[in-house]
Amino acid sequence: MIWLIIVLGSVAAGRLLGQGDVAANLRAATSLAPELLLLALFGVTLGLYGRDRIRLRKSYASPSLAYSGKLCFVVSFSAAATFILAPVDWPVWWLHGFAAAGAAGAASWIGNLPPRL
């Protein structure tokens, strides 16, 4: 629940303090959506590979890495949601950075969960 509040708070702050164009941001995000979703799903795939390594007892799960990966994923998702839904004047290429950070966070989060979840 706290993660949803963080995302909505960042979008609200972008709405209050933004100086850009929401329609242009939404058009840019829509045109880049397949590429960015593929990048994010690559992070999920790497996370599932790491999860399988833990299941086969080739490595150990790290709850602190899982939590920091979750934090990285939520922060990048918050920034991307702020770009898409608020009138902020950020460069469009930042969406690639948000997707890459989200992929890295998802890989770390999913790949380091304890085996009994």
DSSP string covering 1-55: -HHHHHHHHHHHHHHHH--S-HHHHHHHHHHHHHHHHHHHHHHHHHHHHHHHHHH
Neighbours of 86 (CB within 10 A): 20
Over the stretch 42-86, which tens digit does the pLDDT of each residue have? 999 999 888 888 777 777 878 899 999 999 999 999 999 999 888
* 107 SS3 class: helix
Q: How confident is the model at residue 89 (pLDDT cuts 50, 70, 90)?
A: confident
Q: How confident is the model at residue 117 (pLDDT cuts 50, 70, 90)?
A: low
Q: Which residues have CB under 8 Å from 92's CB, separation 6+?
A: 25, 28, 32
> What pTM was computed for the model?
0.84
Over the stretch 23-45, which tens digit does the pLDDT of each residue have? 888 898 999 999 999 999 999 99
